């Protein structure tokens, strides 16, 4: 009998940088295809998946010209970068046999749907992957905050923060080989140790909503499936 998923609805937070692979900026096609295959595996298990994606990989290509730019203007540019990434991710998902819907917090109706919560919930219940683009639609808020907000809105059981490292460590594991990976850590402990798992606004929202966060490596084959099955993968941050 196949293992049953421990989580039926998840919010996956992907950084834009995760899509770069070994490239300096932009989207590495092989990397995005491999990530989509990981997502498809859990969707085929019956898990409802929503995604919030960052835009750092696209914005990095124009960052040199943004020096001295007004913060709100730069943030709106970043929101547009997340829309580009969301469209690329949806295209890759469609090619892998998944049905993806992109919903944007800013209105670009000729390109993507506006974010409407009941519609997003309907899509999830129908087995579609919903990709939330443009962050919260407001400057000064990160896509981490968007992940926490959308996760709470859709009733996700967990926010999965996909990173390049396989969890939260007591120190930088690349600099300190004795650094310890936490299997579990409370929100209060993480804050007292200043671990910087998410930005402060996102972290506080997850803590207040008692929405657990799982930090894991999206580059580790099969890690997403193991997280969904409730296995010992990555680090669980809990209330």
For 135-190, the pLDDT digits (tens) are 999 999 999 999 999 999 999 999 999 998 899 998 888 888 888 999 999 999 99
203 annotated binding-site participant: no
Q: What is the pLDDT of residue 1?
A: 46
64 annotated binding-site participant: no
238 annotated binding-site participant: no
Q: What is the pLDDT of residue 65?
A: 52
29 annotated binding-site participant: no
Per-residue pLDDT reduced to its tens digit, 75-128: 999 999 999 999 999 999 999 999 999 999 999 999 999 999 999 999 999 999
71 annotated binding-site participant: no
List domains and CATH numbers for the chain: 1-163 (3.40.1160.10), 165-193+220-239 (no CATH)
169 annotated binding-site participant: yes
212 annotated binding-site participant: no
Q: Across residues 44-49, what is the average pLDDT?
A: 96
235 annotated binding-site participant: no
132 annotated binding-site participant: no
Beta bridge partners, 78, equal none
55 annotated binding-site participant: yes
143 annotated binding-site participant: yes
182 annotated binding-site participant: no
219 annotated binding-site participant: no
Residue with the bigger pLDDT between 18 and 62: it is: 18
59 annotated binding-site participant: no
pLDDT of 60 above 90: no
Rg over alpha carbons for the chain, rounded to the nearest Å, is 17
75 annotated binding-site participant: yes
188 annotated binding-site participant: no
16 annotated binding-site participant: yes
């Amino acid at each position: 009998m196949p293992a049953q998923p421990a989580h039926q609805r998840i919010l996956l937070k992907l950084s834009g940088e995760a899509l770069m692979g070994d490239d300096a900026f932009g989207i590495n096609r092989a990397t995005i295809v491999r990530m989509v295959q990981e997502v498809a595996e859990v969707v085929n298990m019956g898990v409802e998946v929503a995604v919030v994606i960052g835009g750092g990989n696209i914005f990095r290509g124009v960052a040199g010209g943004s020096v001295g730019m007004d913060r709100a203007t730069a943030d709106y540019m970043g929101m547009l970068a997340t829309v580009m990434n969301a469209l690329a991710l949806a295209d890759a998902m469609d090619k892998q046999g998944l049905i993806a819907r992109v919903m944007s917090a800013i209105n670009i109706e000729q390109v993507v749907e506006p974010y409407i919560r009941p519609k997003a919930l309907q899509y999830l219940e129908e087995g579609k992957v919903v990709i939330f683009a443009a962050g919260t639609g407001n400057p000064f808020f990160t896509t981490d905050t968007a992940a926490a907000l959308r996760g709470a809105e859709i009733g996700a059981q967990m926010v999965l923060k996909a990173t390049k490292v396989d969890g939260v460590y007591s120190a930088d594991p690349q600099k300190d080989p004795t650094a310890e990976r936490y299997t579990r850590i409370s929100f209060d402990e993480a804050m007292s140790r200043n671990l910087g798992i998410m930005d402060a606004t996102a972290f506080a929202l997850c803590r207040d909503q008692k929405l657990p966060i799982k930090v894991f490596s999206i580059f580790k084959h099969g890690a997403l499936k193991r997280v969904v099955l409730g296995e010992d993968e990555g680090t669980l941050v809990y209330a």
